[in-house]
């Protein structure tokens, strides 16, 4: 193992759906411990890129390495074992189960069967994201913000090394957004490397250490947030000015 290897490496990754080049030759590196963001207009390939990283979307070409090891042939259900977890753009909670059960579903079967340990870990993450008082409720009884927190809890209960977040604050008001920003930054303090997709530029500049910008499946800019947001190509393709 190479101690200096990036946590995640994408080399010329493409995901095409028939003629749609959703992701079209993306190469990037993520270093451990940082919060990365992806900016881009609707349809620019952000969610598909997260799906490529979790192996949900088949690669048309390209290579993936996690912690220096190739994993493009690892099936999606095994990617969690590598230490990669994600939340989805739309809420995906199971409504005939409690909030606690939904969080526990973030553990694989083997870990879930070690009941005491699983329960202890679930308690820890529910406390961490602020949903302990809601654990007996059904997801649909929760506010939207609390549903999103439940999804973050489910994603981190297995202690992933890389957390992918697809628009975790979509549909939230400013106050809820600020709370999620604080939560993501405090997760960073605990060592979670994060790759975040969000539309709110101000939030991205505040939360992220490093930004990528996508347009039509390609990376068009990357760097420090202030620089990426000031980039002319990014302004034209995304910010509309």
For the bound state, the minimum distance from the C-beta of residue 214 to ligand ADP, rounded and expressed in Å, comes to 7
Selection from Mg ion, ligand ADP, none that 20 binds (CB < 5 to 8 A by kind) is ligand ADP
H-helix segments, 2-143: 46-53, 76-82, 99-104, 109-113, 115-129
Q: Tell me: does residue 181 bind Mg ion (CB under 5 A).
A: no
Q: How far apart are CA 239 and CA 234, in angstroms?
A: 7
Structure tokens at 224: 């420090």
For the bound state, the minimum distance from the C-beta of residue 235 to ligand ADP, rounded and expressed in Å, comes to 17
Q: How far apart are CA 132 and CA 103, in angstroms?
A: 11
| Binding string, residues 29-58; x marks residues near Mg ion by CB under 5 A | -----------------xx-----------
The burial of 194, by beta-carbon neighbours within 10 Å (0-12 exposed, 13-18 middle, 19 or more buried), is given as: buried
Dihedral of alpha carbons 78, 79, 80, 86, sign: negative
CA 115 vs CA 108, 109, 118: distances in Å: 12, 10, 5
For the bound state, the minimum distance from the C-beta of residue 234 to Mg ion, rounded and expressed in Å, comes to 17
Are 167 and 89 in contact by the 8 Å Cβ rule? The answer is yes
Closest residue to Mg ion using C-beta atoms: 47
CB-nearer residue toward ligand ADP: 23 or 118 = 23
**Interface stretch with Mg ion, choices 29-37, 84-92, 94-102, 232-240 (CB under 5 A):** 84-92
Selection from ligand ADP, Mg ion, none that 40 binds (CB < 5 to 8 A by kind) is ligand ADP
Selection from Mg ion, ligand ADP, none that 135 binds (CB < 5 to 8 A by kind) is none
CB-nearer residue toward ligand ADP: 16 or 112 = 16
Phi first, then psi: what are they for 85, rounded to 5°? -135, 155
Q: How far apart are CA 136 and CA 63, in angstroms?
A: 42
For the bound state, the minimum distance from the C-beta of residue 81 to ligand ADP, rounded and expressed in Å, comes to 24
For the bound state, the minimum distance from the C-beta of residue 54 to ligand ADP, rounded and expressed in Å, comes to 13
Residue ranges that bind ligand ADP, judged by CB under 6 A: 17, 20, 22, 40, 42-48
The number of angstroms, rounded, from the C-alpha of 93 to the middle of its chain's C-alpha atoms is 16
CB-nearer residue toward Mg ion: 40 or 158 = 40
Binding site for Mg ion (CB under 5 A): 46-47, 89
């Amino acid at each position: 193992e190479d101690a200096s290897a990036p946590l995640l490496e994408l080399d010329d990754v493409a995901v095409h759906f028939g003629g749609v080049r959703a992701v079209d030759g993306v190469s990037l590196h993520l270093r451990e411990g940082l919060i990365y963001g992806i900016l881009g207009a609707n349809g620019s390939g952000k969610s598909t890129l997260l799906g490529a990283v979790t192996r949900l979307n088949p690669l048309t070409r390209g290579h993936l390495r996690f912690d220096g090891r190739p994993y493009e042939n690892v099936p999606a259900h095994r990617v969690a074992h590598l230490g990669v977890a994600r939340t989805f753009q739309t809420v995906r909670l199971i409504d005939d189960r409690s909030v606690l059960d939904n969080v526990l579903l973030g553990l694989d079967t083997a870990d879930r069967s070690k009941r005491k340990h699983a329960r202890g870990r679930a308690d820890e993450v529910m406390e961490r994201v602020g949903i302990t008082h809601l654990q007996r409720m059904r997801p649909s009884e929760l506010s939207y913000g609390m549903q999103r927190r439940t999804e973050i809890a489910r994603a981190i209960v297995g202690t992933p090394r890389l957390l992918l977040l697809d628009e975790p604050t979509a549909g939230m008001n400013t106050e809820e957004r600020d709370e999620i920003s604080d939560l993501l930054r405090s997760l960073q303090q605990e060592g979670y490397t994060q790759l975040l997709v969000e539309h709110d530029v101000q939030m991205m500049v505040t939360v992220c250490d490093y930004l990528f910008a996508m347009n039509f499946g390609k990376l068009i800019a990357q760097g420090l947030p202030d620089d990426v947001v000031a980039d002319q190509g990014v302004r034209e393709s995304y910010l509309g000015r």
